[in-house]
Amino acid sequence: MRNFAFGKAQSVAQASASASLVAEAMLAPDGGAGLNDLRIVKAGGIDLMDLMKEGLLAPAEVTSLAAVPGLDAIAPTPEGGLRVGSMVTLARLAEDPAIRGRYPALAEAAGSSASPQIRAAATFGGNLLQRPRCWYFRLAEFRCLRKGGGHCYAIAGENAYHAIFDNRFCAIVHPSTSATALVALRAEAELTDADGGTRRVALEDFFIGPDRDVQRENDLRQGELLIAVLLPPSAGLSMKHMKLAQKESFDWPLADVAVVLDLSDGGACRRASIVLGAAAPTPWRARAAEAALTGKRIDADAAAAAGRLALDGATPLSGNAYKAPMFEALVKRAILAAAS
């Protein structure tokens, strides 16, 4: 690993000045080692240190966000939702009474991610911005399409943990489990640049697929920081997040699902959000399933039909067709659990 200078930003402006785009630096075969001014921000450091140790990223300077005031706050918004700072840890997200009470699907997603030790250090912002876990991507020897090469090794190679949707060019699955719940909740990202400009963008639009840009997973721009995630009001909503993994602990999901339902007093579904994680390069809206539930009373038949429809448009690869029945079952279970 290349030697690097380490600093602590004391303000958002200082941190923004160090926020080079990791995705861009990783396009260089040397991970940016040739760029003597490559400065990268660090949150919990779990993914950043992995990339550096794997020889994929070689910054000259690493700037910690830990001392920037206000980034670890959870506060109510004027609209009746919550604003969750990007430096809130996954452990706190899983345990905070306001998140557990009002956004249980998010608490479940954060609480089922990684291990207790990792959740204690890993931040919400870093989790959403971590790079994909495709094993070819993580090996410096494979200069695949996402790292600026000309070829995807997974599509015709070892793809057991890869995408079953939107997998024509690059078959990563989005690595963040919390992102599945956030897209179902219709949350927004709050971003700030070095000049103090801020923008809000729906997370569904912030995460981008390979057809828009095969080398990036999101629309973060040079010098921008993810400041917070804005959760809309959740009064009257029922929700559930569920995950299936190979191991019970510290494992990424093979499949995960978030369901958010707006049910009338009579039990009819006014609106459904059904999002699949570990399914596609972005958190994947199961739109046909959502449409099928709208206007219906939730029962086992309606949930089972939605489970089948959640696979609409799936194009499994040679090694990952096993995911299809997993998603079908998880969608059905998560709908019934949310409605109960």
Interacting partner of 258 out of ligand SF4, ligand FAD, none (Cβ under 5 to 8 A depending on kind): none
Partner whose footprint covers residue 122, from ligand SF4, ligand FAD, none (CB < 5 to 8 Å by kind) = ligand FAD
Contact 112, 242 (CB under 8 A): no
Cα distance between residue 33 and residue 28, in whole Å: 8
Minimum distance from CB of 44 to ligand FAD (Å)? 3
Neighbour-count burial of 115, counting CB atoms closer than 10 A to its CB (0-12 exposed, 13-18 middle, 19+ buried)? exposed
Q: Which residues contact 328 (CB under 8 A, 6 or more apart)?
A: 307, 308, 310, 311
Q: Which of 13, 60, 118, 244 forms a contact with ligand FAD (CB under 6 A)?
A: 118
5-13, 120-128, 204-212, 289-297 -> range binding ligand FAD (CB under 6 A): 120-128
By beta-carbon proximity to ligand SF4, the closer residue of 138 and 333 is 138
Q: Tell the residue number behind the tokens 């609209």, with chain if given.
A: 79
When asked if residue 18 is in the footprint of ligand FAD (CB under 6 A), the reply is no
Smallest gap, in angstroms, from Cβ of residue 336 to ligand FAD? 24
Residue 129 interacting with ligand FAD (CB under 6 A): yes
Closer residue to ligand FAD, CB minimum distance, 122 or 154 = 122
Q: List the one residue from 41, 154, 181, 274 that touches ligand FAD (CB under 6 A).
A: 41
Per CB under 6 A, 26 contacts ligand FAD: no
CA–CA gap between residue 150 and residue 165 (Å, rounded): 21
In the bound state with ligand FAD, the residue whose beta carbon lies nearer, of 123 and 238, is 123
| Given 47, 108, 190, 204, the residue binding ligand FAD (CB under 6 A) | 47
> What residues contact 162, with CB distance under 8 A and at least 6 apart?
134, 154, 171, 172, 173, 317, 319, 320
Q: What stretches of the chain show up as alpha helix (H) in DSSP?
A: 12-17, 22-25, 46-53, 90-95, 97-102, 104-111, 116-121, 124-129, 177-185, 203-206, 287-293, 300-309, 323-339
Closer by beta carbon to ligand FAD, 41 or else 255? 41
Contact with ligand FAD (CB under 6 A): which of 82, 106, 123, 317?
123
How far apart CA 272 and CA 257 sit, in angstroms, is: 13
Residue nearest to ligand FAD (CB): 126
Number of other residues whose CB lies within 10 A of the CB of residue 149: 14
Asked if 41 and 25 count as a contact pair (C-beta separation under 8 A), the reply is no
Q: How far is the CB of 132 from ligand SF4 (least distance, A)?
A: 6
State the SS3 of 151-203. CCCCCCCCCCCCCCCCCCCCCCCCCCHHHHHHHHHCCEEEEECCCCCEEEEEH
42 binds ligand FAD (CB under 6 A): yes
What's the farthest any 2 CA atoms get from each other in the chain? 64
Which residues, including other chains, have CB under 8 Å from residue 263's CB and lie 6 or more apart? 236, 238, 269, 270, 298, 339
Our CB check for ligand SF4 shows the closer of 111 and 209 to be 209
Judged by the rule CB under 6 A, the positions of this chain that interact with ligand SF4 are 132, 134, 136-137, 144-146, 152-154, 170-172
Least gap, CB of 142 to ligand SF4 (angstroms): 6
Closest CA to 287 of 307, 269, 301, 273: 273
Q: Does 48 bind ligand FAD (CB under 6 A)?
A: yes
Asked whether position 182 contacts ligand FAD by CB under 6 A, the answer is: no
For the CB of residue 108, give the shortest distance to ligand FAD in the complex, in Å: 12
Residue 108 within binding range of ligand FAD, rule CB under 6 A? no
Give yes or no for residue 114 binding ligand FAD (CB under 6 A).
yes
Footprint of ligand FAD on this chain (CB under 6 A)?
19, 22, 40-48, 65, 86, 113-114, 118, 122-123, 125-127, 129-130, 175-178, 225-226, 250, 252-253
